[in-house]
Amino acid sequence: MKISIILPVYNEEESILILIDELINLKEIKNDLKEIIFIDDGSTDNTKKILDECAEKNNLIKVISLVKNFGQTAAISAGIDYSTGEILVTMDADLQNDPKDIPQLLKKLEGGFDVVCGWRKERKDKYFSRILPSKIANWIISKISKVPLHDYGCTLKIFKRHILDGIKLYGEMHRFIPIYIAWNGGKITESPVKHRFR
Ligand code: UDP
Ligand code: MG
């Protein structure tokens, strides 16, 4: 099954070249990789210029440019609509997610799941402003939704495309796609992933 990687990008000129290098050198997925889609979410630095240059040189790379900054959910939504692979990988473009985790998540998906969610077990962010509030939020969300995940906010997730058909995303909703899918009978699971400092 062919894979589309979907990356929302807002002012990430420093990380893009490194990230592309990491993605295209992932030998485990080389044969199945159909496209790497960057959604430039109205960046004001050199992000768009760098991405366009990369897309010229490598036809796996595709760039969608949003006319202004719409936020991560809208960017991911545009990427999903544009993508053509049967397996969709969403991830951050700031190098906090590690492409090396993609193969193990894919293995889990092939084991019979519709969604595999990354779980940043050792999160590399500030404790009081990011990690603690997110722990509390994750706990509440899992109690309310009754969909037991540890980390709704990790962008690194892998989906079977058909499971996303008909889903419309708005607000900050991209984090909750797995809940919606589980409520509709989809099989979801999670897997620990590496998290790097920004
Ligand atoms: N991002 C985006 N639009 C925005 C803000 C962020 O597309 O308005 C992208 C950003 O470039 C990164 C991902 O979304 O690839 C996650 O953003 P960020 O690192 O700021 O979030 P955090 O890691 O703090 O959750
Ligand atoms: Mg980040």
The CA distance from 92 to 19, in Å, is 10
Distance 185 CA to ligand 2 centre (A): 30
- The Cα 101–Cα 112 span in angstroms is 18
Which atom of ligand 1 is found nearest the CA of 10? 11
Query: For the segment 177-192, what is each residue's pLDDT rounded down to a tens digit?
Result: 999 999 999 999 999 9
pLDDT at residue 170 is higher than 90: no
54-113 pLDDT, tens digit per residue, is 999 999 999 999 999 999 999 999 999 999 999 999 999 999 999 999 999 999 999 999
Local confidence band at 166 (pLDDT 50, 70, 90 cut-offs): confident
Whole-angstrom distance, CA of residue 61 vs CA of residue 104: 23
| Extended beta strands in the chain, E state | 3-9, 33-41, 61-66, 87-90, 115-120, 157-160, 188-193
Question: Looking at residue 88, what is its pLDDT?
Answer: 98
Residue 87 gets the label, from left (phi > 0), alpha (psi -120 to 50) or beta, of beta
Which residues are CB-contacts of 111 (< 8 A; sequence separation ≥ 6)?
none
Atom of ligand 1 nearest to the CA of 94: 15
User: Per the structure block, which two tokens stand in for 108?
Assistant: 């889990």
Per-residue pLDDT tens over the stretch 3-17: 999 999 999 999 999
Kindly state if the Cβ of 101 falls inside 6 Å of ligand 1: no
C-alpha 198 – ligand 2 centre gap (Å):
6
Ligand 1 proximity of 113 Cβ (cutoff 6 Å): no
Q: Mean pLDDT, the chain, as a whole number?
A: 97
Predicted TM-score (pTM) of this structure: 0.97
Which tens digits make up the pLDDT trace of 120-148?
999 999 999 999 999 999 999 999 999 99
Residue 114 has pLDDT above 90, yes or no: yes
